[in-house]
Amino acid sequence: MDGHTAAELVTRFAKVERLASAGKSLCAGRVASSGAWRSSGDKSPARWMAHITGVSVGHALSAIETAENLAELPMVEQAVRSGELSEVQAHEISSAAAASPKSQDELLEAAKTESVAELKQRCARVRAAATFDELARYDKIRARRRLRHYRDFDGAFRLDAVLTPDAGALVLATLEPYVERVSRDLQLQGRRESREAMAADALVAMAKHAGACDSEPVSHSPRASVQVMVDHSALVRGSVAEGETCEIKGVGPVPVSTARALSSDAFLTALSMDGADVRCVAHFGRTINAQLRRALEVRDPECVVPGCYVSHNLEIDHIQPLAEGGPTTLDNLARLCSFHHFQKTHRGYRLSGRPGWWKWEKPPSSKNSRDFLRFNGSEPGNSG
């Protein structure tokens, strides 16, 4: 067949595929709700569907969740039944519309013109705006964080990670200078590679540097930075109101408390917005210079919280946060372990005092054990 005929057939097969996917998801949802899957001896509806259709359990679970959400979303269900949405579009839109039913029409219109990546970002914003407790949403993501590796069908090494948006942005920002160095080396050699291939080489280079502990891993390249777009009013208030933004561009929404924490040691871009119009852009540059870092390393060799003796992977904290007018001076800085930094940033704990006389204050309603469990990705009653 000629190319034009093939292109027409691809369009038709895509419609058939969308219709088949819709029928499969809706029927799988019925199998799940009826309990018919138990007759096969599988542990869950998702495992049953994965076995029957030859997909992963995660993929099957997404299809069943889509079917469950569609029961309460008539506009989205009609679009799915008519073959207007792909399986990915249906899952993203149904999950977002389940959190905010009034967004159905907006998301369906967006699906007609936006790429899948753009639609995912839009749906993420809808879910974030519909979540009253942004810290609860952040905790939920953190609780399911993971990094696993496995071998592909041809023996290739594969990585799969689930991180909070700020952690993911930090990884990408740290990787970027290594990507630039790989790109420069390829140019000198007269070679060209895809962005994805260069990123893979850069990840290996970053791991080698971590093992070798070079003092200058990426000369002539910028240091890692994370840019957070946040309405100035939200940054001052400490929470996002309707219509306001607090997100890492290209990664997703984050709590304002995370933006405040990042402002201590990253590039923070605060946007003052009026609807879609950006009125003011304020850049808070990297605030902690090399001299301050060395002084802190000498003064605070361990986490300063009394009774905590962690001495590795310490994080620099503004005792009085920058957003509250705290200065970037040695007297207003301290090094904390990641757990205590998490408590201070997200759980209302306070640090006061001075070297040798530090005081760690709990918020009135704090339950330290629950904070520890949440930080480590488990909840009371879980075996983990």
Q: What is the pTM of this model?
A: 0.47
Cβ 126 vs Cβ 103: under 8 Å: yes
Type of residue at 345? T
Share of the chain above pLDDT 70, in %: 82
pLDDT in the model for residue 242: 75
Distance, in Å, from the CA atom of 271 to the CA atom of 283, rounded to the nearest integer, reads 9
Element (H or E) spanning 273, and its range?
A: strand 268-274
Cβ 264 vs Cβ 284: under 8 Å: no
Distance, in Å, from the CA atom of 94 to the CA atom of 68, rounded to the nearest integer, reads 9
Type of residue at 269? T
Type of residue at 193? E
CA atoms in the 13 A half-sphere facing the CB of 84: 16
Q: Of residues 6 and 371, which shows the higher confidence score?
A: 6
DSSP code per residue over 207-261: HHHHHHT-S-TTTTSPPP---EEEEHHHHHHTSPPTT--EEETTTEE--HHHHHH
Distance, in Å, from the CA atom of 384 to the CA atom of 377, rounded to the nearest integer, reads 8
Contacts of 130 (CB under 8 A, 6+ apart): 96, 99, 100
Helices 368-375 and 134-143 cross at an angle (nearest 10°) of: 60
Encoding tokens for residue 59? 């993929």
Distance, in Å, from the CA atom of 36 to the CA atom of 28, rounded to the nearest integer, reads 10
β-pairing, 228-231 vs 268-274, is: parallel
Give per-residue pLDDT as tens, 278-319: 555 555 554 677 778 888 888 898 899 998 888 877 888 888
Distance, in Å, from the CA atom of 376 to the CA atom of 384, rounded to the nearest integer, reads 9
Give per-residue pLDDT as tens, 156-190: 888 889 898 888 888 888 898 889 888 888 787 77
Distance, in Å, from the CA atom of 34 to the CA atom of 56, rounded to the nearest integer, reads 22
Helices 3-34 and 87-99 cross at an angle (nearest 10°) of: 50
Q: Map out the domains of the chain as residue ranges.
A: 3-130, 146-212, 228-284, 290-375
Q: Of residues 320 and 365, which shows the higher confidence score?
A: 320
Distance, in Å, from the CA atom of 12 to the CA atom of 7, rounded to the nearest integer, reads 9
Which residues share a beta bridge with 281? 271
pLDDT in the model for residue 10: 95
| Residue in the block written with tokens 């990507």 | 179
Which residues share a beta bridge with 316? 335
Instruction: Name the 3-class secondary structure at 279.
Output: strand
Which residues share a beta bridge with 269? 229, 283
Q: What is the DSSP letter of 35?
A: T
Give per-residue pLDDT as tens, 60-97: 888 999 999 998 899 999 999 999 999 999 999 998 99
Encoding tokens for residue 116? 């899948």
Type of residue at 203? L
pLDDT above 80: residue 330 = yes
